[in-house]
Amino acid sequence: MHRQDLLNKLAQYAPINPTEIDARQRIIRFVESTPDCFKRSHLPGHITGSAWLIDESAGRVLLTHHRKLDKWLQLGGHCDGDADVLNVALKEAVEESGIADITAVSADIFDLDVHPIPARGDVPEHLHYDIRFLCRIHGDPAYLVSDESHELAWITPDAILDMHVGQSILRMREKWIQYLNSA
C-alpha cells in the first residue's frame, strides 16, 4: 500500500501538544480512508509536505511570506501523487528557496498540522494535512524568491515572536529551540 510508509511514520510519532495529538489522529484517519490522499485533485483535502529549514548553524529558519495566503509560513507544498512526503518537503524547499543543498536532519516527523485553505478560483476551500520535517541547508544561505512568495527571510527564534504568525509556527519554534538546546 503506497500509504503505509506515511502511516508507519505517523505511528512512530508521539506528539505531546494537544493540537498535534488531534492532528495526528485526523491525519491517520484521513490516510487510512483516502486512497487518493496524496493527490491535489482530491478536493476535500490532501497530504502536503513541509520543511522547517534551518541554516548550517541552526540559528535561523527560512520562512516564506506566501503569496496566495499572505502569511509567513515554512516552505512546503503539494505531494502531487508522491507518497514520499519527506522527498516532497525537500523538493519544495529547493524549489521555493533556490538553495540546492538541503537535507533532512532526520527522516522522522518534526510537526503535524491540519489547516483549512481558502477557496481560490475553481478550487473550493479544503484541508491540508501537513507533514513537516526538520531540514538543514549546507553552505551558502543565499536564496531566490520564487513566484509563490512575496519574500523569503532568515529569521531567528526571537524575531519570530515579533512577527504575525500562526500557532503552528510558534509550536515549531518551540521545538526548534528544544533541538538547539539538545545539540
Taking residue 73's Cβ as centre, other Cβ atoms within 10 Å add up to: 18
Contacts of 73 (CB under 8 A, 6+ apart): 50, 63, 64, 66, 169
For residue 176, name the pLDDT band (cuts at 50, 70, 90).
Answer: very high
Question: Which CATH number is 165's domain given?
Answer: 3.90.79.10
What domain count does the chain have?
1
114-129 pLDDT per residue, tens: 999 999 999 999 999 9
Domain that holds residue 35: 4-182
Name the residue with cell 501538544.
17
Q: What is the pTM of this model?
A: 0.96
Helical H runs in the chain?
Answer: 4-12, 18-33, 85-97, 157-160, 167-182
The string of DSSP codes covering 17-48 is SHHHHHHHHHHHHHHHH-TTTT-TT-TTEEEE
74-99 pLDDT per residue, tens: 999 999 999 999 999 999 999 999 99
Examine the pLDDT at 183 and tell me if it is beyond 80: no
Examine the pLDDT at 1 and tell me if it is beyond 60: no
129-173 pLDDT per residue, tens: 999 999 999 999 999 898 888 899 999 999 999 999 999 999 999
Mean pLDDT of the chain: 95
